[in-house]
């Protein structure tokens, strides 16, 4: 079956309506501000986006398979504080600090995974509990926080390779790996199968517990890594402030990117678009001199609008597919 370039384009736009908005927004801002959206400015947007993307990748996969991880904001803090404890004064081993941050996150992920997949607790509730508990754990670990970590560790936060921030490269690599995983491995397809119809997946011999379990562990590890990057950038690790509300930012980006909250649908390309849209929207409003209060209003409304448009397009798509099916059936 051959599809013309035009059809492909239409299908692509139907699947990612936000991409159109994104492009329109960038062009409009360029015109309105006289090209203030330059590379240094964009680099800041990308760096913010990278931290969100790293956590949003496994987060989106969890939602696709019908689960959710709300604990990532606190897990980020735990990871950040762990790295900070090793690096304080700039004498520790940066690699060890990053691994320890990931390890701390993995522990949280193991807990979430066991409780939700093997004990069958609702993931929304279980990880909501973890959100509070892990925040407390981070504060217990280092009540006053840590700071001044040295340049070697700081490289993770502010350093660049060929002009691109390290964190952005990490996020890009993870994003590509995740997209390949979802498309080209049986386990990747099973992520969707579990989200679409868990019962049918179980009856088809899919391991309906192990896959979400592993995703929870990865989600925890990713949040830990994001914590290390964040404290490296800040050069301090305040356990009470790190990643507060971060889980909702991640969720907003994922949903903006067209991942369906009830599971079964979504893509890594969508996550990329969602993260970029969120960052560029706030950046555009800043460039236009809009206060942060109004930025919050705009971001919230954008989410609601995006979900509304998404639902509408879903209906249109189903009609197109039905018509297509009827046509194909008649040809046969």
Answer for the pair 266, 59: CB distance below 8 angstroms, yes or no: no
CA atoms within 13 A of residue 212's CA, in its CB half-sphere: 32
Q: Which is nearer to another protein, 311 or 325 (CB)?
A: 325
Piece of the chain touching another protein by CB under 8 A; list 12-20, 30-38, 46-54, 203-211: 203-211
Q: Compute the least distance from the CB of residue 318 to another protein, in Å.
A: 8
CB burial string 98-114: b at 16+ within 10 A, e below = bbbbbebbbbbbebbbe
By CB under 8 A, name the one of 125, 173, 301, 325 that touches another protein: 325
Residue 102's φ and ψ, nearest 5 degrees, are -60, -45
Q: Compute the least distance from the CB of residue 253 to another protein, in Å.
A: 22
DSSP state of 260: -
261-280 mask for another protein (x: CB under 8 A)?
Answer: ---xx---------------
Spatial separation of the C-alpha atoms in residues 163 and 140, rounded to whole Å: 38
Q: Is 200 in the site for another protein (CB under 8 A)?
A: yes
Distance from first CA to last CA of the chain, Å, rounded? 13
Q: Which is nearer to another protein, 41 or 207 (CB)?
A: 207
How many C-beta atoms surround the C-beta of residue 13 within 10 A? 13
User: Nearest CA to 62 among 73, 71, 49, 74?
Assistant: 71
By CB under 8 A, name the one of 203, 248, 301, 305 that touches another protein: 203
Q: Is 34 in the site for another protein (CB under 8 A)?
A: no
The interface with another protein within residues 8-27 (CB under 8 A) comprises none
By CB under 8 A, name the one of 42, 196, 287, 313 that touches another protein: 196
Q: Which is nearer to another protein, 206 or 228 (CB)?
A: 206
Spatial separation of the C-alpha atoms in residues 327 and 312, rounded to whole Å: 23
Q: Is 328 in the site for another protein (CB under 8 A)?
A: yes
The interface with another protein within residues 132-191 (CB under 8 A) comprises 184-187, 189-190
Q: Compute the least distance from the CB of residue 191 to another protein, in Å.
A: 11
Distances (CA, A) of 294 to 41, 67, 190, 291, 298: 20, 32, 41, 5, 6
Q: Compute the least distance from the CB of residue 323 to another protein, in Å.
A: 10
Size of the site for another protein (CB under 8 A): 33
CB burial string 278-316: b at 16+ within 10 A, e below = bbbbbbbbbbeeeeeeebeeebeebbeebeeebeebeee
Q: Compute the least distance from the CB of residue 8 to another protein, in Å.
A: 12
Q: Which is nearer to another protein, 58 or 79 (CB)?
A: 58
CA R_g for the chain: 21
Q: Compute the least distance from the CB of residue 215 to another protein, in Å.
A: 16
Answer for the pair 201, 193: CB distance below 8 angstroms, yes or no: yes
User: Nearest CA to 45 among 286, 295, 294?
Assistant: 286
Q: Which is nearer to another protein, 82 or 117 (CB)?
A: 117
Q: Is 205 in the site for another protein (CB under 8 A)?
A: yes
Q: Is 329 in the site for another protein (CB under 8 A)?
A: yes
Tokens of 112: 């979430």
Q: Is 206 in the site for another protein (CB under 8 A)?
A: yes
Q: Is 324 in the site for another protein (CB under 8 A)?
A: yes
Residues that bind another protein (CB under 8 A): 1, 184-187, 189-190, 192-193, 196-197, 199-207, 264-265, 318, 321-322, 324-326, 328-332
């Amino acid at each position: 079956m051959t599809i013309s370039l035009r059809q492909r384009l239409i299908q692509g736009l139907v699947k990612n309506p936000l991409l159109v908005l994104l492009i329109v927004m960038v062009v409009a801002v360029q015109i309105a501000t006289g090209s203030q959206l330059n590379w240094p400015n964009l680099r800041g947007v990308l760096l913010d986006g990278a931290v969100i993307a790293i956590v949003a990748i496994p987060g989106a996969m969890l939602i696709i398979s019908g689960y959710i991880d709300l604990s990532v904001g606190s897990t980020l803090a735990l990871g950040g504080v762990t790295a900070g404890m090793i690096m304080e004064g700039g004498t520790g081993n940066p690699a060890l600090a990053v691994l320890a941050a990931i390890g701390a996150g993995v522990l949280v992920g193991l807990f979430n995974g066991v409780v939700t997949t093997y004990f069958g607790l609702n993931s929304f509730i279980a990880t909501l509990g973890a959100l509070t508990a892990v925040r407390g754990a981070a504060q217990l670990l280092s009540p006053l926080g840590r700071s001044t970590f040295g340049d070697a560790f700081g490289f993770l936060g502010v350093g660049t390779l060929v002009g691109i921030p390290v964190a952005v490269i990490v996020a890009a690599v993870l994003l590509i790996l995740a997209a390949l995983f979802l498309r080209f491995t049986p386990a990747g397809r099973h992520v969707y199968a579990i989200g679409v119809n868990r019962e049918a997946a179980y009856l088809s011999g899919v391991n309906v517990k192990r896959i979400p379990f592993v995703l929870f562990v990865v989600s925890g590890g990713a949040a830990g890594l994001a914590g290390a990057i964040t404290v490296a950038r800040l050069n301090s690790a305040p356990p009470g402030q790190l990643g507060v509300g971060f889980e909702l930012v991640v969720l907003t980006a994922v949903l903006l990117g067209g991942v369906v909250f009830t599971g079964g649908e979504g893509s890594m390309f969508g996550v990329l678009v969602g993260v970029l849209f969120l960052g560029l929207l706030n950046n555009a409003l800043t460039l236009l001199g809009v206060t942060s209060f109004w930025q919050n209003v705009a971001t919230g409304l954008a989410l609601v609008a995006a979900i509304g448009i998404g639902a509408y397009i879903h209906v249109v798509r189903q009609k197109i597919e039905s018509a297509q099916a009827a046509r194909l059936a008649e040809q046969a």
